[in-house]
Amino acid sequence: MALREETEQETGAPPPGRRPTTRLGVGMVGYAFMGAAHSQGWRTAGHVFDLPADPVLAAICGRDRTAVEAAAARHGWAAAETDWRALIARDDVHLVDICTPGESHAEIAVAALEAGKHVLCEKPLANSVAEAEAMAAAAERAAARGQVAIVGFNYRKVPALTYARGLVADGRLGALRHIRATYLQDWLVDPEAPLTWRLKRERAGSGALGDLGAHIVDLAQYLAGEPLVGVSAVSETFVRERPLPAGPAGTADRTARGAVTVDDAALFTGRLASGALASFEASRMAAGRKNALRLEINGELGSLAFDLERLNELSFHDHTEPAVTAGFRRILVTEPGHPYLEAWWPPGHGLGYEHTFVHQARDVVRTIAEGLPPEPSFADGLQVQRVLAAVEESAARNSVHTPVPFQEVP
């Protein structure tokens, strides 16, 4: 204990209790990495934030009964299902949380929305623009019935990035000139890393582009508050064959090999609607970079810089300062006045990756209970999908500048 808060002995004031009597039953499909992260979010949000409804971990769904029951026990879900249609059909499920690979997003999400459920869907929204369009259209129809559809771009919920958006929206950067964004990992540097579903186009849609690039495209548009209107891209698959996975998850059978059918890396430049220039790089082949989502935005009045490997920090340069005292300042985004921080720890006591899912859970609950506009919406997810498609088209067409269609969901 190294801090400043008071006990009740001091003040006699009771801490705020737990008020909601409404319950929001959550049904989650998938229970791998994202399932674990979402579970932690659902379990924790109500203990930290004052929520207008109580999220309840009603049921979890996976195809293998033994495995899904073990996951339910591990992650704290009250029931287990092996058919996502059965999950959707449950009366105690009000929200369907989709944590499966991209190939099944559209089918599950549309069915859930049609069934009158709210939906939280992992990113990227879908494996194609057509699927994403169908999903956005379903979300639009459902919205008219009071349902919420949100896409899980969880990095918008990093307090430093939420706060960064506020600084841009408040005009602290002035007219934007540049965005540069990289998302670098290194788990495919080893040519003997196994050929998992993430390396197959039919399952994952794309490689680094959809997995990592989708995040930085979304963040660029979110932070700038405007869409990309065109891109020019290159991509590469450096290691074209990898050993098939064998036995327990993640280990490789070194004798049998299969083709990698997605990109290892994708680079693209782009233009924002305002005329600002952007550059993007997504790669799983950057040795030593573990989760290096780095962003920099330069405007006429200031600049911002961020690195996900140091997610409690935001660098801000105020160009209106006198030159002799100006410089990028390292803001520890852990003050009570920063987004989400009122509910957490004292200044300097940092948060981690998983807190983005707690914040996402809070925001989903509030959006549903208070009738707020969904954010990020399926329309936002569709817009990202259009950018990814334009990137793939440009890469296939000799990098030629490729417009990103931008239109309202009908």
> CB 59 → a second copy: shortest distance, Å?
16
Kindly report the number of other CB atoms within 10 A of residue 101's CB atom. 18
Show the site string, 228-257: x = touches a second copy by CB under 8 A, - = not: ----xxx-x-x------x-xxxx-------
Q: How many angstroms separate the CA atoms of 401 and 233, rounded?
A: 8
Contact assessment for residue 230 and residue 270, using Cβ atoms and an 8 Å cutoff: yes
User: Where in 95-175 does DSSP place strands (E)?
Assistant: 95-98, 118-122, 149-152
What residues pair up with 395 in beta bridges, in sequence order? none
Binding mask 115-154 for a second copy (x = CB under 8 A): -------xx----------------------------x--
Rule CB under 8 A: choose which of 60, 88, 99, 112 binds a second copy. 99
**Nearest-approach distance from CB 342 to a second copy, in angstroms:** 12
Among the listed residues 91, 145, 287, 371, the single contact to a second copy using CB under 8 A: 287
Per-residue contact string for residues 317-356; x = within reach of a second copy by CB under 8 A: xxx--xxxxxxxxxxx-xxxxx------xxxxxxxxxxx-
Structure tokens at 111: 């069915």
Residue 68 or 143 having the CB closest to a second copy: 68
Taking the C-alpha atoms of residue 194 and residue 253, their distance in angstroms, rounded to an integer, is 8
289 near a second copy (CB under 8 A): yes
Beta bridge partners of 377: 150
Among 44, 107, 129, 137, binds a second copy (CB under 8 A): 44
Extract long-range pairs of 63-71: CB within 8 Å, 24+ residues apart.
67/31, 68/31, 71/31, 71/35
Q: Which is nearer to a second copy, 25 or 213 (CB)?
A: 213
Q: Quick one: 146 or 171, whose CB is closer to a second copy? A: 171
* Candidate ranges 35-43, 83-91, 217-225, 372-380; the one touching a second copy (CB under 8 A): 35-43
Report the residue from 115, 129, 244, 277 that binds a second copy according to the rule CB under 8 A. Answer: 277
Using CB under 8 A, which of the segments 106-114, 126-134, 183-191, 369-377 binds a second copy? 183-191
Out of 96, 168, 183, 384, the only residue in the binding site for a second copy (CB under 8 A) is: 183
As a whole number of angstroms, the distance between CA 407 and CA 388 comes to 16
Judged by CB, which is closer to a second copy: 141, or 401?
A: 401
What DSSP designation does 275 have?
S
Q: Could you tell me which of 376, 408, 366 has the C-alpha nearest to residue 53? A: 366
Q: CA 355 to CA 397: how far, in whole Å?
A: 40
User: What is the phi/psi pair of residue 406, to 5°?
Assistant: -130, 115
